[in-house]
């Protein structure tokens, strides 16, 4: 594999609204992030991904952008951003932005102009489509529920609609319009000129549409089908757009780009993330994909740790075969906390967090850590639907109630699957509101913040935080770096509840074994080597010669000779 500057790095996702509030308004901001750069440096991460910080009405928490070339005042301003860039660079960290160009906000000037004049240039930036027989143009259901079609504001009496795969406040941008594409290249270049190292690219599969807007077979009793089903049908057209985007923006800057792409296949993996792919890498979202194959919370399965492992291993093999680069994750702002979601209940704790971290950090590719994951944050306990902010959770609650579920049952579904689980404030200390804000936090604070926080973990050598620090440092160790970054991945099947794989370097002969036991029962394993040495362990782990014993929750990385 051709070496790139981002290979061997570790990335960290910041959800700015919940990271650190510097001015007491209850919302995280750029000055707050700047005040925590030393912390991030001490963790050892190299690339910071900022979820959207652009001006936005926040219907979908900033993924509805009203101005692509500015900062929302709740976060600060462009000067603060420049300081953040400078201070991050001074600490050896790069910053990447969130690129959300499948849609903008209905508050964006483009959409306002488009609605005001259906013959304007801006009207061509959107999909304004005539209804079919007095009905919506087709039967697609948006990601957040309801039709993807909505009457154009100011034209409610006419038989014409705009498309929105997400909320109705997120009108889809029409990539088939050359002028729109030029606008996208301009805004990407704006941030590249500010020194950002690249982008996380949002919902990119949705930019292609079947312009005849056909109906698809329904996937639920409402007669509609999930908009994502349309993405898969039109994939062959995406190359022309993404190659152009890359050539005009990312490539000349040698940018690092990570795509949010679901349904990666043998056919598409090279195209998207191979040596000449549209992006540097793609997130491994395969566990989420398995869950979201069902349109509603009521049908979401509860994944077992073995299903999670199977997803991760399949992805590792898929990318390896294609010589492609993947970005493994445990969680992000769209998913519940991994410890609560994937592990059996007896590991919904610090030991579970350390075990998952050990499993993640030596996988092939560039790992992304989501804020709070490094201290082992679990799901937040929500007691009432009013405590949720996420529009999808609220819609699912409404639907569950409409379908006859009790308040408790509907709430339990949101509590298990809701995106707000991971969006609650970062836990810095045991001070009021976990030291996140001196004001009233925009989303409730995790119930365990008195004991589960950065400050408490700093001084505990066995804390998840210090374990993550060691893992990140180990990944960078020059003696291991080549194997961890470019080495072969091989699954090591040791039965249900055991997560294990090998990383091997064919040139040097180096072999690393990663192993974690989620079972109640302890595991004794004869490692396949004549000598073994533990590089890092957590929990109950004993290595006697080549006999390894792992207690419940124990995890280790060994070098095999």
Q: Considering beta carbons, is residue 322 or 330 the nearer one to ligand NOJ?
A: 330
Q: Name the minimum Å distance from CB 202 to ligand NOJ.
A: 5
Q: How far apart are CA 343 and CA 292, in angstroms?
A: 18
Residue 156 annotated as catalytic? no
Own/partner pairs for 304-311, CB < 8 Å, 24+ apart? Answer: 305/342, 305/343, 305/344, 305/497, 305/499, 305/518, 306/496, 306/497, 308/342, 309/499, 311/284, 311/286, 311/287
Q: Considering beta carbons, is residue 61 or 538 the nearer one to ligand NOJ?
A: 61
Q: How far apart are CA 287 and CA 80, in angstroms?
A: 37
**Binding to ligand NOJ by residue 50, rule CB under 6 A?**
no
The only residue of 67, 215, 310, 334 in contact with ligand NOJ, by rule CB under 6 A:
334
The only residue of 20, 53, 140, 203 in contact with ligand NOJ, by rule CB under 6 A:
203
Q: Considering beta carbons, is residue 94 or 390 the nearer one to ligand NOJ?
A: 390
Q: Which of 46, 80, 98, 202 does the annotation list as catalytic? A: 202
Yes or no: say if 108 and 192 are a contact pair by the CB < 8 Å rule. Answer: no
Alpha helices (H) in 426-491, listed in sequence order: 454-458, 464-476, 478-486
Helix 178-193 × helix 238-245 angle, to 10°: 30
Q: Considering beta carbons, is residue 84 or 422 the nearer one to ligand NOJ?
A: 422
Task: Report the residue count for the chain.
Answer: 561
The only residue of 100, 207, 353, 541 in contact with ligand NOJ, by rule CB under 6 A:
100
Q: Considering beta carbons, is residue 9 or 333 the nearer one to ligand NOJ?
A: 333
Determine whether 194 is exposed, middle or buried from the number of CB atoms within 10 Å of its CB (0-12, 13-18, 19+).
middle
Q: Name the minimum Å distance from CB 391 to ligand NOJ.
A: 8
Q: How far apart are CA 368 and CA 282, in angstroms?
A: 11
Q: Name the minimum Å distance from CB 200 to ligand NOJ.
A: 8
Q: Name the minimum Å distance from CB 396 to ligand NOJ.
A: 14
Q: How far apart are CA 24 and CA 16, in angstroms?
A: 14
Contacts of 514 (CB under 8 A, 6+ apart): 358, 359, 362, 499, 500, 501, 502, 503, 555, 556, 557
Q: How far apart are CA 546 and CA 558, in angstroms?
A: 10
**Binding to ligand NOJ by residue 523, rule CB under 6 A?**
no
Rounded (10°) CA dihedral 152, 158, 160, 164? 30
Q: Considering beta carbons, is residue 262 or 273 the nearer one to ligand NOJ?
A: 262
Yes or no: say if 57 and 64 are a contact pair by the CB < 8 Å rule. Answer: yes
Q: How far apart are CA 189 and CA 177, in angstroms?
A: 19
Q: How far is CA 350 from the centre of its chain?
A: 22
Query: x/- site string to ligand NOJ, residues 359 to 398, per CB under 6 A?
Result: ----------------------------------------
Q: Name the minimum Å distance from CB 60 to ligand NOJ.
A: 5
Q: Considering beta carbons, is residue 67 or 542 the nearer one to ligand NOJ?
A: 67
Beta strands per DSSP E along 139-235: 140-141, 149-151, 160-163, 198-201, 225-226
Closest to 471 measured CA to CA, from 123, 148, 10: 10
Q: Name the minimum Å distance from CB 50 to ligand NOJ.
A: 13
Scan residues 51-70 and list those touching ligand NOJ (CB under 6 A).
60, 63
Q: Which of 21, 94, 169, 260 does the annotation list as catalytic? A: 260
Q: Considering beta carbons, is residue 32 or 259 the nearer one to ligand NOJ?
A: 259
The only residue of 202, 284, 292, 396 in contact with ligand NOJ, by rule CB under 6 A:
202
Count interface residues toward ligand NOJ (CB under 6 A): 9
**Binding to ligand NOJ by residue 166, rule CB under 6 A?**
yes
Q: Name the minimum Å distance from CB 103 to ligand NOJ.
A: 7
Residue 260 annotated as catalytic? yes
Q: Name the minimum Å distance from CB 370 to ligand NOJ.
A: 11
Closest to 250 measured CA to CA, from 277, 217, 218, 283: 277
Q: Which letter does DSSP use for residue 247 in this model? A: I
Scan residues 205-264 and list those touching ligand NOJ (CB under 6 A).
260
Yes or no: say if 309 and 260 are a contact pair by the CB < 8 Å rule. Answer: no
The residue nearest ligand NOJ at its CB is 63
Q: Name the minimum Å distance from CB 1 to ligand NOJ.
A: 28
Question: Which residues of the chain form contacts with ligand NOJ (CB under 6 A)?
Answer: 60, 63, 100, 166, 202-203, 260, 333-334
Residues serving a catalytic function are 202, 260
């Amino acid at each position: 594999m051709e070496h790139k500057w981002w290979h061997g790095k570790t990335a960290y996702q910041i959800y700015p609204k919940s990271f650190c509030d510097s001015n007491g308004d209850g919302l995280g901001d750029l000055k707050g992030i700047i005040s925590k750069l030393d912390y991030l440096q001490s963790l050892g991460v190299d690339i910071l991904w900022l979820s959207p910080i652009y001006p936005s009405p926040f219907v979908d928490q900033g993924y509805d952008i009203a101005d692509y070339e500015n900062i929302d005042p709740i976060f600060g301003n462009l000067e603060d951003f420049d300081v953040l860039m400078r201070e991050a660079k001074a600490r050896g960290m790069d910053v990447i932005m969130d690129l959300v160009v499948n849609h903008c906000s209905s508050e964006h000037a483009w959409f306002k102009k488009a609605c005001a004049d259906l013959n304007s240039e801006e009207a061509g930036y959107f999909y304004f489509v005539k209804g079919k027989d007095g009905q919506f143009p087709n039967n697609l259901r948006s990601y957040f529920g309801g039709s993807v079609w909505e009457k154009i504001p100011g034209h409610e009496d006419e038989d014409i609609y705009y498309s929105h795969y997400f909320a109705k406040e997120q009108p889809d941008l029409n990539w088939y319009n050359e002028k729109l594409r030029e606008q996208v290249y301009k805004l990407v270049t704006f941030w590249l000129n500010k020194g950002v190292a690249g982008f996380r690219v949002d919902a990119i599969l949705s930019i292609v549409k079947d312009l005849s807007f056909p109906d698809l077979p329904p996937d639920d009793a409402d007669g509609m089908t999930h908009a994502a089903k349309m993405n898969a049908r039109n994939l062959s057209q995406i190359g022309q757009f993404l190659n152009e985007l890359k050539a005009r923006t990312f490539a000349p800057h040698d940018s690092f780009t990570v795509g949010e792409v679901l349904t990666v296949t043998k056919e598409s993996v090279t195209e998207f993330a191979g040596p000449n792919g549209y992006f540097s890498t793609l997130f491994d979202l395969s566990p989420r994909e398995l869950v979201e194959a069902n349109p509603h919370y009521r049908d979401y399965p509860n994944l077992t740790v073995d299903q999670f492992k199977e997803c991760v291993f399949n992805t590792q093999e898929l990318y390896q075969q294609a010589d492609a680069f993947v970005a493994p994750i445990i969680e992000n702002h769209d998913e519940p906390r991994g410890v609560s979601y994937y592990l059996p209940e007896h590991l919904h704790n610090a030991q579970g967090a350390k075990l998952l971290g050990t499993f993640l950090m030596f996988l092939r590719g560039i790992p992304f850590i989501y804020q709070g994951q490094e201290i082992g944050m679990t799901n937040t306990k929500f007691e009432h639907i009013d405590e949720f902010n996420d529009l999808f959770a609220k819609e699912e609650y409404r639907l569950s109630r409409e379908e006859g579920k009790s308040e408790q049952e509907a709430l339990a579904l949101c509590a298990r699957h809701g995106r707000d689980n991971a969006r609650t404030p970062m836990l810095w200390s045991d001070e009021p509101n976990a030291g996140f804000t001196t004001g009233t936090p925009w989303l409730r604070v995790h119930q365990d913040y008195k004991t589960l926080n950065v400050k408490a973990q700093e001084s505990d050598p066995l804390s998840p935080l210090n374990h993550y620090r060691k893992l990140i440092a180990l990944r960078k160790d020059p003696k291991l770096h080549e194997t961890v970054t470019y080495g072969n991945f091989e699954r090591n099947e040791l039965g249900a509840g055991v997560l294990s794989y090998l990383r091997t370097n064919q040139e040097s002969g180096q072999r690393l074994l990663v192993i974690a036991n989620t079972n109640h029962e302890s595991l004794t394993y004869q490692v396949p080597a004549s000598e073994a040495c533990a590089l890092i362990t957590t929990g109950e782990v004993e290595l006697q010669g080549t006999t390894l014993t792992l207690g419940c929750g124990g995890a280790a990385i060994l070098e095999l000779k």
